[in-house]
Amino acid sequence: MTGRTAQKSNGARFRFALIFPLLLLSAEYFGAAAQESILTYDPSTITADGPENCAECHERTSEAWSESTHSRTYEELHLREEAQEILERLGESGSIRRNSECVQCHYTRHARESGGRAKTISGISCQRCHGGARDWIVIHQDTEQYPDRMERLMTATENGMRSTLKIYDLARNCFQCHTVPRENLVNVGEHPAGSEMFELVAYLQGEVRHNFLPTPAEETNKPASTERKRLLYVIGKSIDLEFSLRSLALATVDGIFLESMMARVQKAYDDLKLMGLNVAEINAMLDTIPKEGDTLKLVKNNKEEYENAADTISSLATSLEEKSVEYGAALAPIDSSLPAEFKGEVYK
């Protein structure tokens, strides 16, 4: 077994942006998010045993996670000078492990009951990616009642687990944090306004890849097939547009946040358009973006219009994934756009 080497970066701000987690909140709590943010999750759905429980069956996967940036966040991030400087600019102090702003994206928290006092227990863990396990972990482990693996996975998914069977449900968590939907945090705290060049295939096929299924004894961390990479790429670009719009909807003043989110929306729109795919859902996404003449309407204080467009894109992206088999070869033209290099070193 080879260990994961430390990843190099291009300066302090970029290093901090790389630490920003891949995966966050559960869809069932999205609609209940506070008006000033699209980030929320219920720590009472997180089981206290965390990654240790998962490692009983997913040993290689747990090893891959333990050597990843997501895991190391718990031990390293609060010690970084950049993190403390952001707190100071926000007029706050203490550890980011306990800061209400920071914990929503950088850590996993557990509470005994809904609304109860939450405790930070790890970095970006299995449950922050795959959903708080309170309501599905027993089903996921019950091979006697559900001897068929697919039936077991589908039943667990119906009870809140986010599996790789549904790319959109799983991947939206990446963008809910990587777009950094916090105006004050960016403008005043000078936190990076999202991860630079965040692209789903490059991230999911890099250091966070942990595909050791279908058997526990499998030794190879398998890469995604070309067909799956195509879908990851298209769905990722769609979600990027959706959550860039959701972040732009929160912009109320001039500043770095507004400028960054306008740029993100424009780039996500351009990326989808440049694919040149004859796919109904993508065409509809491009048409739903607010426009002024031939240009995108990118302004502050336009919450309702942007959120409505984002909701439409969400539905279209889900439909696109459901029709992925039907589209098949129609996605082949994007093969030349698929990244050949990935973020971080793949765990072997």
SS (H, E, C) the chain: CCCCCCCCCCCHHHHHHHHCCCCCCCHHHHHHCCCCCCCCCCHHHCCCCCHHHHHCCCHHHHHHHHCCHHHHHHHHHHHCHHHHHHHHHCCCCCCCCCCCCCHHHHCEEECCCCCCCCEEEECCCHHHHHCCHHHCHHHHHCCCCCCCHHHHHHHHHHCCCCCCCCHHHHHHHHHHHHCCCCHHHHHCCCCCCCCCCCCHHHHHCCCCCCCCCCCCCCCCCCCCCHHHHHHHHHHHHHHHHHHHHHHHCCCCCCCHHHHHHHHHHHHHHHHHHHCCCCCHHHHHHHHHCCEECCEECCCCCCHHHHHHHHHHHHHHHHHHHHCHHHHHHHHHHHHHHCCCCCCCCCCC
- Confidence at residue 7, expressed as pLDDT on a 0 to 100 scale: 35
Mean pLDDT on 207-233: 85
Give the mean model confidence (pLDDT) for residues 214-241.
Answer: 87
The mean pLDDT of 139-161, rounded to a whole number, is: 94
Q: What is the mean pLDDT of the chain?
A: 86
DSSP-assigned beta bridge partners for residue 296: 291
Share of the chain above pLDDT 70, in %: 87
Cα-Cα end-to-end distance for the chain: 7
Confidence (pLDDT) at 27: 32
Per-residue pLDDT, 11: 37
pLDDT of 324 strictly over 50: yes
**Which carries the bigger pLDDT value, residue 325 or residue 301?**
301
Q: How far apart are CA 213 and CA 58, in angstroms?
A: 9
pLDDT at 49: 84
Strand partners, 108: 122
Could you tell me the pLDDT band of residue 252, with boundaries at 50, 70 and 90? very high
State the average pLDDT over residues 187-201.
91
- Residue 161 CA: distances (Å) to CA of 129, 134, 283: 9, 10, 31
Most confident of 52-61, 157-166, 218-227, 280-289: 280-289
pLDDT in tens, 197-208: 789 999 999 999
Residues in the chain: 348
pLDDT at 9 (0 to 100): 35
- Of the two residues 197 and 226, the one the predictor is more confident about is 226
State residue 165's pLDDT score. 86
Higher pLDDT, 173 or 260: 260
Maximum mean pLDDT: which of 159-168, 188-197, 228-237: 228-237
Q: Are 232 and 204 contacting, i.e. CB atoms less than 8 angstroms apart?
A: yes
**pLDDT higher than threshold 80 for residue 297:** yes
Instruction: For residue 216, name the pLDDT band (cuts at 50, 70, 90).
Output: low
- Confidence band for 176, pLDDT divided at 50, 70 and 90: confident
Residue 217 in this model has a pLDDT that exceeds 80: no
Sequence letter at residue 146: Y
Average pLDDT of the segment spanning 115-129? 91
Answer yes or no: is pLDDT of 316 > 70.
yes
The two structure tokens encoding residue 87: 């707190």
pLDDT mean over 163-182: 90
